[in-house]
Structure 1
């Protein structure tokens, strides 16, 4: 089973407005509501790719109920814990330039953390746990460390999809998989990375610290995988980019679905790039048919 933990899920309220004008009434030409949050996105894509997944984390109020209902509609197993307050609403305004306004989430107290840790007692060495997103201010700042320690007690693999100081401080726990882009990789070492050779050099330094799979995404240029069997470059297929939201989460989901299916990191990379690209070429998260249409177009080369 692949578990995802989203500490601060959201309703993503997407509004398309033609000719937006500040300070006056604007009418949306199109609106959509989606359950959001990085871990939630990973679970949604995993389910579409046929992988066993369960969404964990927190939900609150009528907005939290909406998130759970939408996940259930998509047949995603969900065990979001109830807390006080309301789950946040993130507004994404598409009007020429894209603007985001992210809401605040509910308060997660010590009791809520204990309940989440209790859920992880069911883990085994066959499981993968995805910790995705930044740590919200309403949650204890060391919660990822606490969750990783619980996962490792049960020998479950840990995936970290976060960045900045949070990621840097957690590398010593030797996660199974991380996915920084080349800018984030450079930030970990205080350098600016511009070439493929530099990506390989610094990804290797992360791998040497015990991270089994390091995937460094380079936007439309593809991605580098540094793993125990070697270094691989995957060239992204060409297409019209319609959506940037969730492409990275889809790459994570595709990589894990591919790994569970093939047990090889090279094939997992192919699935990941196809999934991320399929989302980028869609207006929502990718569908299975879109991913499989792209898989054979992903060129993977061992460097």
Structure 2
């Protein structure tokens, strides 16, 4: 089974305004409401790929109920923990420029966190656990590492998608997969990266620090996989980018979906690249038919 953890879910409220004017009344031309959060995105895409998962996380209030109802209507299995306070709302304003306003979300107390730990303690070596997104200020910055330590003696395949020190702290527990992009690598190593060769260099450093597999997403330039079998590049298919939200989460979902069935890292890279691109070319998260159309356009090259 694949499990995802989203500490800070959201309602993603996406609105289109033809000509946004600051300080004036603006009329919305289109609006959409989605259950959001990186782990939730992974679960939603997995469902679209006919792979079952279970979404863990923390929800609260009327906004939290929207999250549960929305996911239930899509057939996504959930096992959320209720906390006091309301699940946050993130506003995505699309006009000539794209603007995001993200809510803070409720605090998570020790009792609620221990309830999550009890759920995670039941996982086994047959399971994948996706830890995705930033961590609220009410939680320890190394919470992902704490969870990994609980999983390490059971050989759970842990996937980590976060940034900065929170990511670095997880490497000592040998995550199965991490997925930084080029900007996140620059932040981690405090450098400016100007070439694919430099991306590979710093990706290898993360692997040497403990990550089993490193996927580096590069938007229109595709993705890199650094693993024990070598370094592989997946080309990016051509298309019009309509939605940048969730593309990285979709890459992870596609990668795990493929690997869980075929146990091939290279095939997983190809399927993940197609899934990430399919979401980028869609208004919402991709469907299986979108992914299949792009698979033939992706070339895998061993570097």
TM-score by length of 1: 0.97
Distance 2:107 2:204 in 1: 39
Q: Is the 8 A contact 2:141 2:166 kept in 1?
A: no
Q: Is the 8 A contact 2:107 2:136 kept in 1?
A: no
For residues 55-103 of structure 1, give each alpha carbon's deviation from its aligned partner in whole angstroms, at most 9, with x where no partner exists. 0010101100100111111101100111101000011111111111111
Distance 1:151 1:161 in 2: 17
Superposed counterparts of 1:201-220, under 5 Å: 201-220=201-220
Which residue in the other structure is 1:100 paired with? 100
Which residue in the other structure is 2:287 paired with? 287
The CA deviation at 1:154 is 2.4
Superposed counterparts of 1:1-303, under 5 Å: 1-303=1-303
Distance 2:21 2:201 in 1: 47
Unaligned runs of 5+ in 2: none
SS in 1 for 2:170: helix
The count of corresponding residues between Structure 1 and Structure 2 is 303
Distance 1:282 1:238 in 2: 13
SS in 1 for 2:58: strand
Distance 1:121 1:208 in 2: 28
Q: Is the 8 A contact 2:14 2:93 kept in 1?
A: yes
- Provide the aligned C-alpha RMSD in A: 1.1
Distance 1:219 1:161 in 2: 16
Q: Is the 8 A contact 1:129 1:151 kept in 2?
A: no
The CA deviation at 1:146 is 1.7
Q: Is the 8 A contact 2:142 2:166 kept in 1?
A: no
Distance 2:187 2:168 in 1: 9
SS in 2 for 1:5: strand
The CA deviation at 1:52 is 2.1
SS in 2 for 1:35: strand
Distance 1:202 1:23 in 2: 44
Deviates more, 1:154-163 or 1:190-199: 190-199
Distance 2:167 2:204 in 1: 16
Deviates more, 1:16-25 or 1:185-194: 185-194
Q: Is the 8 A contact 1:6 1:37 kept in 2?
A: yes
Distance 1:142 1:195 in 2: 31
Unaligned runs of 5+ in 1: none
For residues 135-163 of structure 1, give each alpha carbon's deviation from its aligned partner in whole angstroms, at most 9, with x where no partner exists. 11133333222211122232211111001
Is the alpha carbon distance of 1:159 and 1:295 closer, same or farther for their aligned partners in structure 2, counting shifts above 3 Å? same
For residues 39-62 of structure 1, give each alpha carbon's deviation from its aligned partner in whole angstroms, at most 9, with x where no partner exists. 000000011111121100101011
SS in 2 for 1:131: strand
TM-score by length of 2: 0.97
SS in 2 for 1:122: coil
For residues 7-66 of structure 1, give each alpha carbon's deviation from its aligned partner in whole angstroms, at most 9, with x where no partner exists. 000000111111112222111011110000000000000111111211001010110010
